[in-house]
Structure 1
Amino acid sequence: MINSNLYKGSLTTIILKLLNENDKMYGYEITRKVKELTKGDLIITEGALYPSLHKLEADGLLDVEMVKIGKRSRKYYKLTEAGTKETVNKLAELESYIRNMRALVNPKFRLE
């Protein structure tokens, strides 16, 4: 069982990366993709996802497009230009974090 607390600080990066790879996605689609890519180890709840999406939108990193599907509307999220730049920054931060954690927990990855 994976401790979801370990992922909480990475949720923004996960969202940005998925949107960067997939152009635009709606909320449920993001949660399904994360579950699929992690083989069910990470499940993002709506209670975690939507506040993050709303904050990214408020920060100017996402655009929202409403699409009518039958009688329902679906919100699609897409990166803005600033969102694309922030994705690069967040991924670099995450790579550094992973490298440092690897060095801390596994001696063979320590720099001499």
Structure 2
Amino acid sequence: MNTSELLKGTLTTIILKLLADNGKMYGYEITQKVKELSGDKILVKEGSLYPALHKLLSDGLVEVETVNIGKRVRKYYYLTPQGQVRKQAQFKELQEFLQTMQHMLFPSLNPQMP
């Protein structure tokens, strides 16, 4: 499945959802959770994930906690209160967009659009 273009527009929403559901998560953990939840159909690469996380951080939607694990340093990301609010707005926006696309692309499967 070639999802790279579709993923670009939804990666922020996916990250916000995962952090809301799981609390603190580190990057690799996020990529593996997306892979698991999508049945191996969506693979998030580091080149997409970390710029998205850094943008969320700079926008004040996530915070980061650095934890030393042996000789390794792991960065855990978690939602801020502002991130919680944004998650709800992103969900609503995505849901409306998907409904519109469904009505537009598959009109025979839908009742009259309001």
Which bin holds the TM-score, normalised by the shorter protein?
over 0.9
When the two structures are aligned, how many residues end up with a matched partner?
112
1:2 partner letter: N
Q: How does 1:50-61 map to 2 (within 5 A)?
A: 50-61=50-61
Name the CA distance, whole Å, in 2 between partners of 1:91 and 1:51.
21
TM-score, normalising length from structure 2? 0.94
Instruction: Provide Cα deviations, 1:44-83, integer angstroms capped at 9, x if missing partner.
Output: 0000000000010011000100011111010000000000
Of all paired residues, the percent bearing the same amino acid is 52
Aligned to 2:13: 13
1: CA distance, partners of 2:86 / 2:49:
18
Structure 1 CA distance for aligned equivalents of residues 5 and 16 of structure 2:
19
Give the gaps of 5 or more residues in structure 2. Answer: none
**Stretches of 4+ moved more than 6 A in 1?**
none
Amino acid at match of 2:6: L
Using structure 1 for the length normalisation, give the TM-score. 0.95
Structure 1 residues without counterparts, runs of 5 or longer: none
Counterpart Cα distance in 2 of 1:100 and 1:45 = 29
AA paired with 1:7? L
Q: How do 1:68-87 residues align onto structure 2 when only pairs under 5 Å count?
A: 68-87=68-87
Question: What is the root-mean-square deviation in Å for CA atoms of aligned residues?
Answer: 1.1
Aligned to 1:63: 63
Matches of 1:17 and 1:3, distance apart in 2: 18
